[in-house]
Structures are given as C-alpha cells and as structure tokens.
Amino acid sequence: MLKNRLIPVIIVKGDLIVQSFNFKRFLPIGKMKTAIEFFVNWDVDEIIILDIDATKQERAPQLEVIKCASKECFVPLTVGGGIRSVESIKDVLRAGADKISINSYAVENPQFVTDAAIRFGNQCITVSVDTMKVSNDYNVFIRNGKIDTGIKVADWARKLERLGAGEILINSVERDGSREGYDLELLNLISSNVNIPVVACGGVGNMRHLANGIIKGNCQGVAAANIFQHTEHSTIAAKAMMNKLGAQVRLSSDVKYEDFDFDHLGRPV
C-alpha cells in the first residue's frame, strides 16, 4: 500500500519565506536554507516551494533559489510559480527540482499541461488549483486568488486528469491561514471526481487536521505551510498524530512520538 504523504509548503515572496493569510497578508518568517535543513531532517516526504511573485511579475522561476534549495534537499522537491514554457520546466528540473507545479497558466493554456506531461511524464506535473465557494459551489480562481474564472472546480479537476496532470494540489483560499482545518467538503468533491493523487492544502491549525485530510477528505497527501514554522519537531509530531488516528504514513525518524499523548494543538505531551 502506498503511504500517505506529509508535505511542507515553503511560500517564497522575494527572497524570504512568508506565511500567507487568505492570499492577502504575508508575514516574513525566514530564509530558505534554514527551512529546508529543518524539514529534511524531520521526516517529511516531499517539499513544495511556491514563488508567489513569479506569475504576478510575469517572470521565470528564480533558478538560483531552486539550486540552493536542492543542494540541501534530500526528499522530492516540487517547484511552482512562473512556469509558462517547456524550456522553463527544463530549467527548473536542471536546477534540482523533481516535479513542477502549474497554476494560473494551466487555466490560461490547458494544452500546456498535456505538452508538459508528454515531454516530461505526468508523474512530473502537478497542477495547483486555488478555489473559493461562490453561490454554494466551488469556483477556480487564478492570479493568487484574485480572478474568478467561473470554472467549477470539479469540472476542472476532471479535465486536468484528461489533460495528463499527474497530481492535483487543491488549495482553499478561504481557509488559507485560518487554522480552521481543511475544507473536507471540497476535498471529498475533488477526490471523488478523479483517479489521480489529490494533495490537500489550506487551513491547517493543528496536527489532527492533517490526519483528517487523509481519513475524512480521502486525499493521498496533505500539505501545509504556517503550522510547521512555529513548533519544534512539528513534522514528526504530525506524522505521529496521523499514524495514531489511522493514516498510513512513513515513520523513519529516530525521534519517536507514537506513544505520546497530544494536546489540543496536536503537540506531544
């Protein structure tokens, strides 16, 4: 059985890592190298780096940032932000990424998803989908959550699978930074409409929320950003909580929390 993945998301704005709140407010918290070193030593399955300025500024990904990150990273590395051509994908992979993530440009040019999957293999292509609820349904938003495309998210997820996407990263803009937990209705909507892996993102406030993304949201992976920045051994504690609640996760760290109790935030006590 394939293990469920725990994936920290590193949000980059300029040359700093930031926390995001509803895609509107950003709190600087540190440098890339420090975060990568922390995560790879504490039992994560993958790391996602998202450059949120790249699309807005209509520029390519920062290859030097990716190269520096990949030197410290010993787990699969996914990079997103500003990828709009096959050449850009080649550059990002050569810089050390294992997978790429496309968001707004997939909506603007769906054929690009197919072209990328044919050229590099669909296992290399993640499509990140930002969504908000509009009139009791979920619409796809692009450009950092600023533009409502009017596309229904379930329709878009099915189309992405047909286009050749290997995985969908589904992010609730409304839950981003809220600490309220994943939108489980949204996760089940996506996971029930596709046969490719779905990774949840947006809203984690405690370690139990991560387990819920797997057990109640039926996702194959769970991703989060803010929660991992402020708690010591946060990713190991997350894995222990997920395992305790029944999610199938890889436990490889020498630090063991499986026999601990957990407080209301999911921290071992």
Residues labelled as active-site residues: 130
Task: Give one word for 243, left, alpha or beta, with left for phi > 0 and alpha for psi -120 to 50.
Answer: alpha
Name the residue with tokens 């050569």: 94
What distances in angstroms separate CA 10 from CA 14, 20, 34, 134, 268, one per listed residue? 12, 10, 11, 28, 24
Q: How far is CA 201 from the centre of its chain?
A: 6
As given in the structure block, the two tokens for residue 216 are 């109640």
CA-closest candidate to residue 100, choices 135, 72, 74, 70: 70
The vertex-213 CA angle with 212 and 214, nearest 5°, equals 90
Quick check: helix, strand or coil at residue 148?
strand
